[in-house]
Amino acid sequence: MKVNLILNGLRKTFEVLPNEYLLETLRNNHVTSVKNGCNASACGSCTVLLDGKPILSCSFLSARAEGREVTTVEGLPEEIGLIADSFGAECADQCGFCNTGLALTVYALKKELKNPTDEEIKQYVVGNLCRCSGYQSQFKAIKRYLGEKR
Protein backbone atom coordinates (compact mmCIF):
# COMPACT_ATOMS: atom_id res chain seq x y z
CA MET A 1 0.00 0.00 0.00
CA LYS A 2 1.06 3.61 -0.45
CA VAL A 3 1.23 6.24 2.24
CA ASN A 4 1.45 9.94 1.43
CA LEU A 5 2.91 12.24 4.03
CA ILE A 6 4.93 15.38 4.46
CA LEU A 7 8.43 14.55 5.65
CA ASN A 8 10.50 17.50 6.80
CA GLY A 9 8.43 19.84 4.66
CA LEU A 10 8.50 17.73 1.49
CA ARG A 11 5.62 15.67 0.10
CA LYS A 12 6.60 12.00 -0.02
CA THR A 13 4.94 8.77 -1.03
CA PHE A 14 6.22 5.54 0.48
CA GLU A 15 5.31 1.97 -0.33
CA VAL A 16 4.63 0.24 2.99
CA LEU A 17 3.23 -2.99 4.33
CA PRO A 18 -0.06 -2.75 6.25
CA ASN A 19 1.70 -3.85 9.44
CA GLU A 20 4.81 -1.70 8.95
CA TYR A 21 5.82 0.82 11.56
CA LEU A 22 6.98 4.34 10.82
CA LEU A 23 10.45 3.68 12.26
CA GLU A 24 10.99 0.99 9.65
CA THR A 25 9.60 3.09 6.80
CA LEU A 26 11.81 6.04 7.66
CA ARG A 27 14.96 3.99 8.05
CA ASN A 28 14.22 2.03 4.87
CA ASN A 29 14.09 5.38 3.11
CA HIS A 30 17.45 6.61 4.39
CA VAL A 31 16.18 8.66 7.35
CA THR A 32 18.69 6.99 9.63
CA SER A 33 18.71 9.67 12.32
CA VAL A 34 15.67 7.84 13.71
CA LYS A 35 17.05 5.04 15.88
CA ASN A 36 15.78 1.66 16.89
CA GLY A 37 16.79 1.42 20.54
CA CYS A 38 14.33 -1.15 21.89
CA ASN A 39 11.61 -1.61 19.27
CA ALA A 40 9.21 -1.94 22.20
CA SER A 41 7.98 1.58 23.04
CA ALA A 42 10.29 1.77 26.02
CA CYS A 43 13.28 4.01 25.26
CA GLY A 44 12.36 7.05 23.12
CA SER A 45 15.24 6.64 20.64
CA CYS A 46 12.78 6.36 17.75
CA THR A 47 10.98 9.62 18.58
CA VAL A 48 9.78 11.73 15.66
CA LEU A 49 7.34 14.61 15.57
CA LEU A 50 3.90 13.93 14.12
CA ASP A 51 2.13 17.20 13.41
CA GLY A 52 4.57 18.74 15.88
CA LYS A 53 4.02 16.29 18.76
CA PRO A 54 6.54 13.61 19.79
CA ILE A 55 5.54 10.03 19.03
CA LEU A 56 7.34 6.70 19.20
CA SER A 57 7.78 5.70 15.58
CA CYS A 58 8.48 2.05 16.55
CA SER A 59 4.87 1.65 17.59
CA PHE A 60 3.10 3.93 15.11
CA LEU A 61 1.84 2.23 11.98
CA SER A 62 3.06 3.97 8.84
CA ALA A 63 -0.43 3.84 7.35
CA ARG A 64 -1.63 6.11 10.16
CA ALA A 65 0.75 8.82 8.96
CA GLU A 66 -1.32 9.34 5.80
CA GLY A 67 -1.66 13.08 5.19
CA ARG A 68 0.27 13.99 8.34
CA GLU A 69 3.47 15.96 8.88
CA VAL A 70 6.46 13.97 10.09
CA THR A 71 9.55 15.80 11.31
CA THR A 72 12.97 14.40 12.13
CA VAL A 73 16.15 16.25 13.10
CA GLU A 74 16.99 16.66 9.40
CA GLY A 75 14.01 19.02 9.14
CA LEU A 76 15.10 21.33 11.97
CA PRO A 77 18.80 22.00 11.42
CA GLU A 78 18.97 25.42 13.11
CA GLU A 79 16.95 24.53 16.17
CA ILE A 80 18.67 21.18 16.62
CA GLY A 81 21.99 23.03 16.38
CA LEU A 82 20.93 25.27 19.26
CA ILE A 83 19.91 22.25 21.32
CA ALA A 84 23.26 20.61 20.57
CA ASP A 85 25.05 23.81 21.65
CA SER A 86 23.18 23.82 24.96
CA PHE A 87 24.06 20.20 25.57
CA GLY A 88 27.70 20.88 24.72
CA ALA A 89 27.81 23.88 27.06
CA GLU A 90 26.59 21.72 29.96
CA CYS A 91 28.86 18.76 29.11
CA ALA A 92 25.71 16.75 28.47
CA ASP A 93 26.60 15.34 25.06
CA GLN A 94 24.84 12.09 24.39
CA CYS A 95 25.34 9.14 22.14
CA GLY A 96 24.00 8.85 18.62
CA PHE A 97 21.33 6.43 19.74
CA CYS A 98 19.42 8.59 22.16
CA ASN A 99 20.32 12.15 21.20
CA THR A 100 18.10 12.69 18.17
CA GLY A 101 14.98 11.45 19.94
CA LEU A 102 15.69 13.57 22.98
CA ALA A 103 16.44 16.64 20.84
CA LEU A 104 13.06 16.36 19.10
CA THR A 105 11.28 15.93 22.42
CA VAL A 106 13.06 18.97 23.86
CA TYR A 107 12.15 21.01 20.78
CA ALA A 108 8.48 20.00 21.13
CA LEU A 109 8.60 20.83 24.83
CA LYS A 110 9.75 24.36 24.10
CA LYS A 111 6.97 24.81 21.55
CA GLU A 112 4.26 23.40 23.77
CA LEU A 113 4.98 24.61 27.31
CA LYS A 114 5.67 28.22 28.23
CA ASN A 115 7.81 28.63 31.35
CA PRO A 116 7.54 24.98 32.40
CA THR A 117 8.36 24.00 35.97
CA ASP A 118 11.21 21.57 36.65
CA GLU A 119 8.65 18.86 37.24
CA GLU A 120 6.89 19.58 33.95
CA ILE A 121 10.21 19.38 32.11
CA LYS A 122 11.02 16.05 33.73
CA GLN A 123 7.57 14.67 32.93
CA TYR A 124 7.82 15.78 29.30
CA VAL A 125 11.12 14.00 28.67
CA VAL A 126 10.45 10.99 30.89
CA GLY A 127 10.11 8.66 27.90
CA ASN A 128 13.57 9.44 26.52
CA LEU A 129 15.90 7.11 28.38
CA CYS A 130 19.67 7.10 28.63
CA ARG A 131 21.16 3.75 29.55
CA CYS A 132 24.63 4.97 30.27
CA SER A 133 24.68 8.17 32.35
CA GLY A 134 22.71 10.21 34.81
CA TYR A 135 20.27 12.92 33.84
CA GLN A 136 21.52 15.94 35.74
CA SER A 137 23.63 17.55 33.04
CA GLN A 138 20.98 16.83 30.41
CA PHE A 139 18.42 18.51 32.64
CA LYS A 140 20.65 21.59 32.96
CA ALA A 141 21.16 21.62 29.19
CA ILE A 142 17.43 21.50 28.56
CA LYS A 143 16.91 24.40 30.95
CA ARG A 144 19.65 26.35 29.20
CA TYR A 145 17.99 25.79 25.82
CA LEU A 146 14.54 26.70 27.16
CA GLY A 147 15.94 29.90 28.62
CA GLU A 148 17.43 31.12 25.36
CA LYS A 149 15.80 34.27 24.04
CA ARG A 150 15.32 34.58 20.29
Site residues (vs ligand FES, CB under 6 A)? 36-39, 41-46, 56, 58, 94-95, 97-98, 130-133
**Nearer residue to ligand FES within complex by CB, 116 or 127:** 127
The nearest distance, CB 60 to ligand FES, in angstroms, is 9
Q: Is 31 helix (H, G, I), strand (E, B) or coil?
A: coil
**Nearer residue to ligand FES within complex by CB, 8 or 39:** 39
Query: Shortest CA distance to 64 belongs to which of 1, 109, 107, 147?
Result: 1
Strands, sheet with 47-50, edge to edge from the N-terminal-most edge strand? 10-15, 2-7, 69-71, 47-50, 53-56
The nearest distance, CB 88 to ligand FES, in angstroms, is 14
The nearest distance, CB 144 to ligand FES, in angstroms, is 18
For residues 144 and 110, what is the distance between their CA atoms, to the nearest angstrom?
11
**Nearer residue to ligand FES within complex by CB, 26 or 43:** 43
The nearest distance, CB 80 to ligand FES, in angstroms, is 16
For residues 71 and 28, what is the distance between their CA atoms, to the nearest angstrom?
16
